[in-house]
Amino acid sequence: MPELPEVETTRRGLAPVMDGAVITRADVNRPDLRWPFPPDMAARLTGQKVLGLRRRSKYILADLASGESLLIHLGMSGRMLISGDPLGQFAHDHPAAEKHDHVVFHMDSGARVTFNDPRRFGAMDLFATARADDHALLAKLGPEPLGNSFDGPYLTAALAGRNTAIKSALLDQRIIAGLGNIYVCEALFRAGISPLRKAGQISARRAAALVPIIRDVLTDAIEAGGSSLRDFKQTSGELGYFQHSFDVYGREGLPCRRDGCAGTVGRAVQSGRSSFYCGKCQR
């Protein structure tokens, strides 16, 4: 499932085509994806100016002139593809419609934005922009890891007294919004913290040091266009390439990349997810 860097990469790719543009027509080609589309979704989107695109956790939010916001969740295999951009960034012709092109936005510039989702685990919703913080998917989210409210004192307090593993705590969207399995594994490696260690055992010093490491991992991934392991593509159709920089994720049995460490990367299953780490230098 796309994590924060992939969603942010998608948002940045959509911005030049959608920010300030008008959706002249919205085609909704099925009644649902992960759940039913909101009533009259095509009519509510058609003719609307996109005031701006933002990201909250793993969701893209398009604020509309109507006072509503469109929420987009990519799910397991969803991707937003752009064609026909007259600015030249996506100058290739519109492709023929595909079986899994579920929602299509025709922009007043002549560009077309297509939401393609073979597995149909993605989702879209429309709601009043002013009520965004009350939306069921957004109301309980923690701070953004790239935002100012995520800092050492916050993380120290959030982890204090928790008996769960630090890996599980960092994946809890109520504690930090947007972190997923890949980037938690990578951040914990850079911090030298075992994913098996109890969250409540992380000292204030190590928690404070973990904050900039998480930021750096996410920033590096965004600059690389995200990670393409199965289905993820950028809005241009290109693959992300941060997966070529993984230190531990997916490297079970391979040598640890930390200078001076003679360990190998191991794998443990935590809450049904694989944790990759070096048992020698991560404590």
Q: Are the C-beta atoms of residues 77 and 117 closer than 8 Å to each other? A: yes
Query: What is the Cα Rg of the chain in Å?
Result: 20
What is the sign of the dihedral through the CA atoms of 95, 101, 105 and 106?
positive
120 catalytic per annotation: no
For residue 71, the SS3 value is strand
94: exposed, middle or buried (C-beta count within 10 Å: 0-12, 13-18, 19+)? middle
212 catalytic per annotation: no
Instruction: Name the catalytic one among 3, 6, 68, 186.
Output: 3
3 catalytic per annotation: yes
144 catalytic per annotation: no
Instruction: Name the catalytic one among 2, 5, 145, 195.
Output: 2
Integer Cα distance of 143 and 126 in angstroms: 23
Instruction: Name the catalytic one among 55, 58, 206, 233.
Output: 58
Integer Cα distance of 258 and 261 in angstroms: 6
How are beta strands 68-73 and 59-64 bridged, if at all? Answer: antiparallel
Displacement of CA 78 from its chain's centroid (Å):
12
Helix (H) or strand (E) holding 63: strand 59-64
For residue 163, the one-letter residue type is: N
Instruction: Name the catalytic one among 34, 120, 267, 273.
Output: 273
In total, the chain counts a number of residues equal to 283
**DSSP per-residue string spanning 117-154:** -SS---EEEEEEGGGGGGSTTTTT----TTSTT-SHHH
Residues carrying an active site annotation: 2-3, 58, 273
